[in-house]
Amino acid sequence: MGFSMLGPAFLQMFKKPWTNKFPAKYAPKNTTKYLADVGAGKAKLNPPVATPEKFRGKIVYDKEKCIGCKLCIRVCPCGAIEFKEKEKKIKIYLARCCFCSQCNDVCPVDCLSMSDEFLLADTDKYSKDLIVE
Amino acid sequence: MTDEKTTTKATYQIPIGPIHPALKEPVMFEFEISGEQIVDVDVQLGHIHRAIEWTGMRRNAIQIIYLAERICGICSFVHPMSFCRAVESACDIDVPERAHYLRVVHAELERICSHLLWAGVAAHEIGFDTVLFLTWEMREKALDLTEYLTGNRVTKAILTIGGVRRDVTADQLPKIKETLQYFKNNFEKLRHIFLDDKTFKMRSQGVGILTKEDALKLCTVGPTARASGIKKDTRVDQPYAAYGDLDMTYMTPDLLTGEVNGDVYDRIIARLLEVKQSIELIETALDQAPAGELVSEPKIPKLLAHIKKTAGEGVGRDEAPRGEVFHYVKFDGEHENPYTWKVRASTYNNILAWIPMLKGEQIADIPIVAASTDPCMSCTNRVIVIEKNNNKNYMLTKEQLHKLSVQKTRRLMR
């Protein structure tokens, strides 16, 4: 066999693409309009690949449970967590977060956990979606 | 008058890099070319120094694990593992038995990912992009498994000082087995394409030869050294984690072909054999892993206090997919942050091997030969010399600098 890739390459023509076409099968001409249509229920999103269990996504913070011990600030490798002196609570800037979930491990009262939300792209790093408090 | 013309065959120089479409990462080559042949080559490094060690010296040990992960995106398990082992040896922390086995599982999974990535890049470098997509389709499976086991695809964040952070539970085993079976089924296909295909043979056999003597002299490590016939593997020579309990040997190309040439083809063989070895190692490690604790000290504040009190130094040597990685850590016993942290990545050893490999080759062979050592520039650039030497022939010595300084003072005094 001289050219062993000929077979697989030919067969590929009859196979479905491996890639999951997210969010739409074909790139929309106007993304904002497409997203507005999705919001209005006119168009449908092509769902993303499901995240596995224990996925490390956006941090969820249970403010009531927090005792303000500052341990998460001590171990955070990115310096993404700020302490609010008055309230004795924390504020997490997700734009700096590296999703290592070390703060989840160290928390003595388990007030931090990780969700499976991963669509966190934003043009403003201080936007409401990227700050957990 | 005769028509005789005297022609002098002058060599000319081609600089490639630091930023060049053919290079994935910044590195500077200066080639001396005669016609199509490379007469001489010089490599210059230092374009991607990120001061990681300096940053690390201002953080505590737990924070450094995640910084060490970011030394290299592909070796994002081995770097923190070396660092953790250095800290463990400095602070006398024992790692539980199960954690040792799980470390092997993650390290070998990373090796599969890295070697498949490399195989795709090598195919891409010789212009065989269909194979790039085929191998990366397989790599995607390995990345999915990584995400399934650790929660992240690339920066795994699975290690901690004194163990691992997540267990491989019994209900995760079927998915691991399924993925490993997929690799086994497709391994033969991959081997057939890389080793029997005419295109690969034409471009890789007899190209970029690194003799055993040169490989020894230049202290090459990892698959680059093993492809030249040197039996050298940190996992076998100085077993760490659970490698001592597992049955393994040096993957030299003569296991498959019966001879060692030290060319690009042999480097492909060495890496493919290692993929197969890694699959077997993961299977045995999962079978043999005893039940038990994952971390020796689950309370992180207590661990950090222990590290703060310890004065001592430690070394971690691990076999990364590219070769041996070396981490040195020193604690002074007063501070949480290390007094010193030194990293030596494997590409640092392999980079000089480019010179004997490239000499005498053609210009068109540069990408595949350079890629055959699986270089990683961001790992390598550890030291930067801050000196003004834009022109190579114009290096200022201390005396010259002093002289210039004195001259300027005199000039200003006038």
Report the CATH number that the domain containing residue A106 is assigned in CATH: 3.30.70.3270
Q: How far apart are CA A30 and CA A101, in angstroms?
A: 37
Q: How far apart are CA B161 and CA A86, in angstroms?
A: 34
Count CB atoms within 10 A of the CB of residue B277: 18
> B227 with B357: CB under 8 angstroms?
no
How many residues in chain A? 133
Residues A25 and A90 placed together within one structural domain of the fold = no
| Burial environment of residue A79 by CB neighbours within 10 A (0 to 12, 13 to 18, 19 or more) | exposed
pLDDT of residue B381: 65
Q: Do A1 and B301 touch (CB under 8 A)?
A: no
pLDDT of residue B31: 86
Q: Do A2 and B197 touch (CB under 8 A)?
A: yes
Does A6 reside within a domain?
no
Q: What is the dihedral of CA A125, A130, A131, A132, to 10 degrees?
A: -160
Residues of B in contact with A75 (CB under 8 A): 60, 62-63, 300
pLDDT digits (tens, 9 = 90+) for B129-144: 889 998 999 999 999 9
Does A121 reside within a domain?
yes
Does A43 reside within a domain?
yes
Does A12 reside within a domain?
no
Residues A123 and A100 placed together within one structural domain of the fold = yes
Q: Do A98 and B155 touch (CB under 8 A)?
A: yes
pLDDT of residue A29: 87
Name the H helices within chain A: 6-11, 31-40, 71-75, 102-106
B383 pLDDT higher than 60: no
pLDDT of residue B401: 53
Residues A63 and A127 placed together within one structural domain of the fold = yes
Instruction: Average pLDDT across each block of 10 residues of chain A; the chain has 133 residues. List them in order.
Output: 78 85 84 86 85 90 92 93 93 92 92 91 90 90
Residues A83 and A121 placed together within one structural domain of the fold = yes
Residues A37 and A95 placed together within one structural domain of the fold = no
Query: To the nearest whole angstrom, how far is the Cα of A5 from the nearest Cα of chain B?
Result: 7
Helix (H, G, I), strand (E, B) or coil at B411: helix
Does A54 reside within a domain?
no
Cα of B328 vs its chain's centroid, Å:
17
Residues A22 and A77 placed together within one structural domain of the fold = no
| Burial environment of residue B364 by CB neighbours within 10 A (0 to 12, 13 to 18, 19 or more) | exposed
B390 pLDDT higher than 50: no
> B307 with B24: CB under 8 angstroms?
no
Q: Do A106 and B189 touch (CB under 8 A)?
A: no
**Is some CB atom of chain B closer than 8 A to the CB atom of A52?**
yes
Q: Quickly state the pLDDT bin for B394 (edges 50, 70, 90).
A: very low
> B291 with B192: CB under 8 angstroms?
no
Does A75 reside within a domain?
yes
pLDDT digits (tens, 9 = 90+) for B297-347: 889 999 999 999 999 999 999 999 999 999 999 999 999 999 999 999 888
Q: How far apart are CA B168 and CA A11, in angstroms?
A: 37
Does A92 reside within a domain?
yes
Percent of chain B with pLDDT over 70: 89
Of A5, A52, A98, the CB nearest to B131: A5
What predicted TM-score, i.e. pTM, was given to this entire model?
A: 0.88
Report CA torsion sign: B301, B168, B100, B98: positive
Q: Do A4 and B193 touch (CB under 8 A)?
A: yes
Residues A33 and A91 placed together within one structural domain of the fold = no
Size of interface A-B (CB pairs under 8 A): 73
Residues A67 and A91 placed together within one structural domain of the fold = yes
Domain boundary among A49, A69, A90: A49
How many independent structural domains does chain A possess? 2
**Is some CB atom of chain A closer than 8 A to the CB atom of B151?**
yes
Residues A71 and A24 placed together within one structural domain of the fold = no
B314: its two tokens: 């430690």
Does A13 reside within a domain?
no
Instruction: Provide the residue range defining the domain that includes A78.
Output: 59-132
pLDDT of residue B393: 43
pLDDT digits (tens, 9 = 90+) for B249-275: 999 999 888 899 999 999 999 999 999
Helix (H, G, I), strand (E, B) or coil at B332: strand
**Is some CB atom of chain A closer than 8 A to the CB atom of B128?**
yes
pLDDT of residue B392: 44
Residues A65 and A27 placed together within one structural domain of the fold = no
Residues A73 and A118 placed together within one structural domain of the fold = yes
* Domain architecture of chain B: domains with CATH: 11-48+346-414 (3.30.390), 52-344 (1.10.645.10)
Residues A70 and A41 placed together within one structural domain of the fold = no
